[in-house]
Amino acid sequence: GSGSNGVGVGMVPAVSRSAVSRGVVVRRPGFVEGLGEHRAKAERMFSLMDGFLKNDPISLQKDILHHVEYTVARSRFSFDDFEAYQEVVIGRVSWLRDRDVWHIVDQCAEALNQLGFEFEVVAEQEGDAALGNGGLARFSACQMDSLATLDYPAWGYGLRYEYGLFRQIIVDGFQHEQPDYWLNFGNPWEIARIHVTYEVKFYGTVEEVEMNGDKQKIWIPGETVEAVAYDNPIPGYGTRNTINLRLWAAKPSSKFDLEAYNTGDYINSVVNRQRAETISNVLYPDDRSHQGKELRLKQQYFFVSASLQDIMRRFKEEHTNFDELPEKVALHLNDTHPSLSIAEVMRMLVDEEHLSWKKAWDIVCKIFSITTHTMVAEGLEKIPVDLLGSLLPRHLEILYEINHHFMEELKERIGLDYSRLSQMSIVEEGAVKSIRMANLSIVCSHTVNGVSKLHLETLKTKTFKDFYGLWPEKFQCKTNGVTQRRWIVVSNPSLRDLISKWLGTEAWIRDADILSGLRDHVDNADFHLEWKMVKKVNKMRLAEYIEAMSGVKVSLDAMFDVQVKRIHEYKRQLLNIFGIIHRYNCLKNMDKDSRRKVVPRVCIIGGKAAPGYEMAKKIIKLCHAVAEKINNDTDIGDLLKLVFIPDYNVSVAELVIPGADLSQHLSTAGNEASGTGNMKFLMNGCLLLATEDGSTVEIVEEIGADNLFLFGAKVDEVAELRENGVSNLAPLQNASPLKVPLQFSRVLRMVRDGYFGHKDYFKSLCDSVEAANDYYLLGTDFMSYLEAQAAADKTFVNQEKWTRMSILSVAGSWRFSSDRTIQDYAESTWKINPCRCPL
């Protein structure tokens, strides 16, 4: 479902609106230098292109017609919107000729309109490339956009899943998952590089052989599959720099296994070969914690092996001395998922390039850096040794050896402190012996980045305390950001135009700092009027969508209150629903006069639950059960509506975020590493109601606590509250003497007693927040939450104040542009410089 984006999606790279997973690889110092003798040829081609390949509407029409006739031979048949979309993309995005993709949107619109197409309709033909799960993957997409725009010579690598994240459909209020076969009609953005292929090997044995008098380990693999490159161009904004997202697809190896074909079982041999393709078929749909599955490990190694062969091939084309590798290549691990890379580079350097262990290790330690994205130690990835030993026997040996050297070094530094040694070890002994991928990554990376100040603090003082003691200089903070090109320019064109008008420039699209200039107009009445109009337009768009999706008619005067993100207990969608039930109770108990003073609300919740995550699925069902009750209560009318928006994805986000007045970010403090949804809402002038968790702390620093609605326990109160139900730190602002307030118990009782039906089904959900079990502190934070909600209501009545806060939110969002994040990475982690192509 592409949603209605209103703007030329056809000209905006598919991957920019996607969520892509896994590693970001940066290559230094850049391709202009790297081109060497080809440079003259490239420059000549560029200059010819400027002459031949024009972007005026007539030239564009010629191109489209050329493709219709010669590429797809469809001119005599029906040529529909979808084909028009594909043709425009194919015709224009062969990236060598793209000087500045973003700036030909208007010309394309005109060309298409003259051919009798409606540009917006054509643009909407594009759906999401849902190649990831949630925040982690969408953050990669924002980073790619910023890398391109800031002229960095970076490559992104990932898997070309044929099935992206499942589509969520709701039947009777329950989530059902449907496969997302997104490549059904082809993907016009991608370029299949059928000659860029590598063999990836699995299983087999390790043997010791004599090599020039030395003993040498070699891996005799048992299975080979081929990785084929599919390139996805990521054009920067206002620059000719277009970087590459290279995604790997698995194909059966082209090598014939003579044995297999001679046994006479021809049919089965072919069928077996074909199984190789399953490796890259489907994305694992859990946002985190997916341990001990062989296919997942196979995916990780497939991805790592193909990418590293590609990187090494490029390096070896121009260099022979591996001492230069750290000068030319920086490898960044986006979470621990690709951390097998460390063992793989060691294997390549030692087993294939015959470097000594010490030399190889020195090199490896200079090229890797990592970002971790999780707060809780339980979220860190572990690979069972049995599984690894069977799939990648040589890698397991290498990991043991890395650990052996590390343990020796550690003993020298901290002595024989066995408890600490075993905690820091890369190998975890225990019921299931396993490899701790986080420890491996920290040992080998020169930099370990956290995604917010609060997150880094937790890494230093809790999660990786011992490692911090050993290597304090490795730990750095790179607060996340989001790209204003996607989250304002494309998804909120009315706001884009308004901002440019009042700032008198479009420069903020490349330089977000300029957004802070909106502060100069914060008290201008005309500005306020236009600001409110923009929100109104976006609310209309959203209201239409809601009605089409759910049949619920909503009032534009109501406050649109949104919580959209993956469903997780720690994100506390349940707190939101309990708050809504409480609001419903209050309304029911009010007399007519009091009701007239109530601010009407439209509560919008959206998000996918991992297919195996019971509690998350129950939260979705509860939301529907409560919605059914409230929305059909004629007594309540427009005062309160609850809608669940199905299949929340990037396209839906582009529609929902600009239309929100208030957005909720409710994670129990200490659980959300950063959060990026908060930044997207901030950029769209939506006020936040949030806990002081992750990056929200820095949003408060930037815009001030009085420009959003904060509530809840702070991070250093949480442990105590879990233990004793009280905090011995500064008393909670709105502390209630009871651990569980009456209002909370009443709501819980209603759900328990079957007020919303499905009594048995909701029982375990209720148990999970009962005082004795309430790990995420819903009861503890409830009163504080209700007070923040009341403050939001009170402010909404004062539209002038609300608008002021809204403007200051957008003005403060300059600091949460992923351009700032990427520049920080470039300067202090990768040590690379921009490398601007001649325009």
Site residues (vs ligand Z15, CB under 6 A): 133-136, 139, 287-288, 335, 373-374, 379, 451, 480, 672-676, 694
Residues 626 and 44: their CA atoms lie apart, in Å, by 65
For ligand Z15, the closer CB: 119 or 139: 139
Least spacing, CB of residue 727 vs ligand Z15, in Å: 24
For ligand Z15, the closer CB: 136 or 444: 136
The set of residues, in sequence order, having a beta carbon less than 8 Å from that of 373 and lying 6+ positions away, is 135, 136, 139, 335, 451, 673, 674
Least spacing, CB of residue 675 vs ligand Z15, in Å: 5
DSSP letter, residue 282: B
Least spacing, CB of residue 179 vs ligand Z15, in Å: 21
For ligand Z15, the closer CB: 287 or 781: 287
> Cα separations (Å) of 463 from 9, 380, 697?
42, 10, 20
Least spacing, CB of residue 570 vs ligand Z15, in Å: 9
Least spacing, CB of residue 773 vs ligand Z15, in Å: 23
Catalytic residue among 565, 608, 618, 624: 565
User: In this structure, what token pair is assigned to residue 718?
Assistant: 């949480």
Residues 396 and 405: their CA atoms lie apart, in Å, by 14
Least spacing, CB of residue 438 vs ligand Z15, in Å: 10
Q: Which amino acid, 306?
A: A
Q: 3-class DSSP state for residue 185?
A: coil
For ligand Z15, the closer CB: 492 or 674: 674
Residues 235 and 146: their CA atoms lie apart, in Å, by 10
Task: Give the pairing type, strands 447-450 and 434-436.
Answer: unpaired
The reply to whether 571 belongs to the active site is yes
Residue 441: strand pairing partners: none
Q: 3-class DSSP state for residue 117?
A: coil
The reply to whether 446 belongs to the active site is no
- Cβ(541)–Cβ(495) under 8 Å? no
- Tell me which residue of 132, 178, 481, 436 sits closest to 288, measured CA to CA: 132
For ligand Z15, the closer CB: 64 or 136: 136
How many other C-beta atoms can be found within 10 angstroms of the C-beta atom of residue 549?
A: 16
Cβ-based burial of 274 (10 A; exposed 0-12, middle 13-18, buried ≥19): exposed
Least spacing, CB of residue 671 vs ligand Z15, in Å: 8
Q: 3-class DSSP state for residue 124?
A: coil
Least spacing, CB of residue 257 vs ligand Z15, in Å: 37
Residues 672 and 299: their CA atoms lie apart, in Å, by 27
DSSP letter string over 26-75? EESS-HHHHTTTHHHHHHHHHHHHHHHS--SHHHHHHHHHHIIIIIS--T
For ligand Z15, the closer CB: 90 or 141: 141
Least spacing, CB of residue 22 vs ligand Z15, in Å: 11
Catalytic residue among 332, 601, 617, 680: 680
Least spacing, CB of residue 378 vs ligand Z15, in Å: 11
For ligand Z15, the closer CB: 242 or 649: 649
The set of residues, in sequence order, having a beta carbon less than 8 Å from that of 231 and lying 6+ positions away, is 190, 191, 193, 244, 245, 246, 247
Catalytic residue among 478, 571, 583, 641: 571
The set of residues, in sequence order, having a beta carbon less than 8 Å from that of 623 and lying 6+ positions away, is 173, 573, 577, 605, 642, 644
What's the per-residue H, E or C state across 456-521? HHHHHHHHCHHHHHHCHHHEEECCCCECHHHHHHHCCHHHHHHHHHHHCCCHHHCCHHHHHHHHHH
Least spacing, CB of residue 629 vs ligand Z15, in Å: 32
Least spacing, CB of residue 20 vs ligand Z15, in Å: 12
How many other C-beta atoms can be found within 10 angstroms of the C-beta atom of residue 387?
A: 20
- Cβ(678)–Cβ(687) under 8 Å? no
Least spacing, CB of residue 371 vs ligand Z15, in Å: 7
The reply to whether 565 belongs to the active site is yes
For ligand Z15, the closer CB: 290 or 366: 290
Residues 245 and 484: their CA atoms lie apart, in Å, by 20
E-only strand ranges, 725-813 = none
Catalytic residue among 28, 246, 298, 566: 566
For ligand Z15, the closer CB: 142 or 495: 142
For ligand Z15, the closer CB: 122 or 375: 375
Cβ-based burial of 151 (10 A; exposed 0-12, middle 13-18, buried ≥19): buried
The set of residues, in sequence order, having a beta carbon less than 8 Å from that of 807 and lying 6+ positions away, is 518, 519, 521, 522, 527, 528, 531, 685
For ligand Z15, the closer CB: 309 or 664: 664
Peptide bond just before 29 cis, omega within 30 deg: yes
How far the first Cα of the chain sits from its last, in Å, is: 36
For ligand Z15, the closer CB: 675 or 685: 675
The reply to whether 553 belongs to the active site is no
For ligand Z15, the closer CB: 394 or 665: 665
Q: C-alpha angle 446/449/455, rounded to 5°?
A: 145
- Tell me which residue of 784, 770, 774, 803 sits closest to 666, measured CA to CA: 784
3 sits in the region (left: phi over 0; alpha: psi -120 to 50; else beta) called left
Catalytic residue among 676, 696, 780, 829: 676
Residues 678 and 76: their CA atoms lie apart, in Å, by 50
Active site residues: 373, 565-566, 571, 676, 680
